[in-house]
Amino acid sequence: MKSLFIILLFLVSYSAMAEKVIIVTNIMNSTNQITRDQIQDYFFKRNRLWPDGKPVRFFDRQDNSAERTYFLKYHLHKTARQVDQFWIGQKFNTGDSAPIQVSTETMTLNMVSRFPGGISYVNEGVRLPKNVKVLEIAE
């Protein structure tokens, strides 16, 4: 009984950590709305330019982060293993590398704020710096 309680407590704690994420970009980006298909195209480097011609710089989170797990599941509809296998194939076939992974939310926001074409994801409730904005997801 005690072990069942511990398992349930872990599951509740983990689900609380996996908050909804929002897609953010640099304030200098003229785009205000994005589709899920565009998110996937930018992440997988099928499209490397924003509509205004700025290069896309996608910043990912580390493999073990709850934010990345949520992003992969709800925005890319992939598992971490599927994404890793995709990038291994890309590296071998085209030389493309996966987006840079950053370790913290603060670092994510810092990187997005430094690059006019920066894009990433952060927890919904995070306080954004003045040079980072939320991209509305068009359904």
pLDDT for 120-132, tens place per residue?
Answer: 999 999 999 999 9
What superfamily does domain 19-138 belong to in CATH? Periplasmic binding protein-like II (3.40.190.10)
Check whether 2 has a pLDDT greater than 70.
Answer: no
CA atoms within 13 Å, Cβ hemisphere of 85:
5
pLDDT at 7 over 60: no
User: What residues are paired with 57 via a beta bridge?
Assistant: 118
> pLDDT tens digits, residue range 17-61?
458 999 999 999 999 999 999 999 999 999 999 999 999 999 999
Is residue 86 left, alpha or beta, with left meaning phi > 0 and alpha meaning psi from -120 to 50? alpha
